[in-house]
Structure 1
Amino acid sequence: MEEDYYLGAYWGPRNETALECARRAELFFHMLARCDPTFTQWYRAGRGAPRDLPGWPLRPELKELESLFLKGRNRTDVGREVIEDLGFRLMVWNAKKEATKLHLSCGKYSPWGGPNSCLLYPPRQGAVRERLLRLPVLTEVLTCMATAWDPDYAIVNSTEMVDLIKKRKWERRVGWLTYLSRRLGRLPPLPAPVRIEPVGALGWLLVLSPEPMTAANPEHVALTARVRELLDRAGFIESPEPAPASE
């Protein structure tokens, strides 16, 4: 059975305006387009989109992205008031069938409602999926995420592996590829065959295997668990749990 892989970058509360988020998104889309041809055109939802297209074509330009982030603000159910501290959201995709989906959540500075994130979901089957789930492409995409969004951490993993490895509700996860920001601490020695590559002055990219890591392979599970344990001892895994809301 095929596992469901995804790429995710995550960071804690960061009070940024729609314009600041748009600058990051503009950089990300332009960098992403150089990783693979399937990333050159994205579409968004909206009434009246051309029937022959997956949606309204997205122009990854600063003003359009700022406008879309402002439209994607979280609002209250009653009164539709903007919830400022929950930031902005944007979801796009690139095809009608076997689509790659991209979810952005940024500008959030509330400790509640989950982290800021940039999530990319490859197709669940097909030739594009096979091309994207190769180490050189994944390395480039994760580097783009780290460069544009400056997350605390980012991973390439399958949901099945996450379910096996994760031990706490609030924790930074380890995957087939894992990016860790330098602001989290100092990396401990890690066992072979883990490869460590710097990502500029921002952080490190850990590559656990040149081949896809699967939850069906006991050796892959054991290596991922071991790396997680070592990083946990070094303070990289535990993520502060939001404090209870004051009454």
Structure 2
Amino acid sequence: MTAKPEPTTYPETYYAGAYWGARKESPEECAQRTATFLNLLAPTDPFLAHWYKPTRALKDARKYPLMPPDVPALTELFRRGANREKGGPAIEQLGFTFWFGNGGKSYDSADLRILCGCYSDAVSNACVMTLPTLGHSENADRVISAAVLTGAVRSMALAWEPDWAVAMSHAHRDMDEAEGKADMWLGWVTYLARHRGTVPPLPAPVRIEPVEGKGTLIILTPERFTVANPEHVALARHVRGLLGKAGLMQPVST
């Protein structure tokens, strides 16, 4: 009898994202927020300190640096990214979309996708950063850490003033969605804006940090959070339950 092949296992992949409701902003305002975010993000790790304008070919990825942030150049990129029907005029209420990366290759890269200036009830604004892949990147083990991701989420909170933000694995997000918790996610690192309410006391090893009067960071574990660790999963569910009882996990009204 031929032995069945062992199932292929893949490392968890991680990302960070900030989300906020309807907020009408101009390309200039979106560019200024982006510049603020990139300047705040840069000190968290050298890997996140270099960003480049989008290019058609990967070989050209490092030809057009965006650091230090050039607000007029960013403004023009947002203006070009006005959402529209193909061949039609810009749809003002859907804001501006802009993608760019840090010049890395394949699994050893970070990318940013920003939707800013949207004031439609149907779509939320967001700044989402994909991260390098563990086991395939010389930078991932350092970047995917509590210290760096806490700094990244804090930078998002200060620059974008979102309703909430999170750093987590896609596997953890998928688990939340499968359990019917797709309104907002509790990640390894989570930011909740002050207007959402007061964060209650949470059990160890959870750490709570204020963000300059704007809101609160919640860091579940000092070590890397993974769904492969049942203690991590149980802790996340327990903390989510406590935050839910405090009324902090409700969907954002746009």
Normalised to the residue count of structure 2, the TM-score between the two structures is 0.87
Report the CA distance shift for 1:141/1:241 in structure 2 as closer, same or farther (over 3 A).
closer
Task: Say whether residues 1:131 and 2:139 are aligned partners.
Answer: no
Match of 2:167 among 156, 162, 179: 156
Query: Could you tell me whether the CA contact under 8 Å between 2:118 and 2:125 is conserved in 1?
Result: yes
Partner secondary structure for residue 206 of structure 1? strand
Report the CA distance shift for 1:205/1:169 in structure 2 as closer, same or farther (over 3 A).
closer
2: distance between equivalents of 1:151 and 1:237? Answer: 14
Report the CA distance shift for 1:126/1:184 in structure 2 as closer, same or farther (over 3 A).
same
* CA deviation after TM superposition for structure 1 residue 66, in Å: 0.9
Task: Say whether residues 1:38 and 2:50 are aligned partners.
Answer: no
2: distance between equivalents of 1:236 and 1:35? Answer: 28
Alignment deviations for residues 146-196 of structure 1 (CA, whole Å, 9 cap, x no partner): 110011111110111112124446512101111111010111222222111
Task: Say whether residues 1:24 and 2:33 are aligned partners.
Answer: yes
Report the CA distance shift for 1:81/1:230 in structure 2 as closer, same or farther (over 3 A).
same
Alignment deviations for residues 213-240 of structure 1 (CA, whole Å, 9 cap, x no partner): 1111111111111111111122211215
Normalised to the residue count of structure 1, the TM-score between the two structures is 0.90
Match of 1:213 among 203, 207, 225: 225
2: distance between equivalents of 1:100 and 1:55? Answer: 16
1: distance between equivalents of 2:12 and 2:182? Answer: 23
Query: Could you tell me whether the CA contact under 8 Å between 1:172 and 1:236 is conserved in 2?
Result: no
Task: Say whether residues 1:184 and 2:202 are aligned partners.
Answer: no
Match of 1:74 among 83, 86, 89: 83
2: distance between equivalents of 1:241 and 1:64? Answer: 32
1: distance between equivalents of 2:63 and 2:104? Answer: 8
1: distance between equivalents of 2:196 and 2:112? Answer: 26
Mapping of residues 65-104 of structure 1, within 5 Å: 65-77=74-86, 79-97=87-105, 98-104=108-114
1: distance between equivalents of 2:253 and 2:30? Answer: 25
User: In structure 1, what residue type is equivalent to 2:151?
Assistant: E
- Match in the other structure for 2:7: none
1: distance between equivalents of 2:189 and 2:82? Answer: 31
- Match in the other structure for 1:110: 120
Query: Could you tell me whether the CA contact under 8 Å between 1:194 and 1:206 is conserved in 2?
Result: yes
Report the CA distance shift for 1:184/1:52 in structure 2 as closer, same or farther (over 3 A).
closer
2: distance between equivalents of 1:130 and 1:197? Answer: 24
User: In structure 2, what residue type is equivalent to 1:159?
Assistant: H
Alignment deviations for residues 75-124 of structure 1 (CA, whole Å, 9 cap, x no partner): 013x42101111111111112412111111111110113x2111111111
In percent, how many aligned pairs have the same letter?
43
Residue ranges of structure 2 left out of the alignment (5+ in a row): 1-9
Residue ranges of structure 1 left out of the alignment (5+ in a row): 243-247
- Match in the other structure for 1:142: 153
- Match in the other structure for 1:245: none
The runs of 4+ residues in structure 1 deviating greater than 3 Å are 49-56, 166-170
Report the CA distance shift for 1:215/1:63 in structure 2 as closer, same or farther (over 3 A).
same
Count of aligned pairs: 239
User: In structure 2, what residue type is equivalent to 1:179?
Assistant: Y
Report the CA distance shift for 1:56/1:80 in structure 2 as closer, same or farther (over 3 A).
farther
* CA deviation after TM superposition for structure 1 residue 207, in Å: 0.8
CA RMSD of aligned residues (A): 1.9
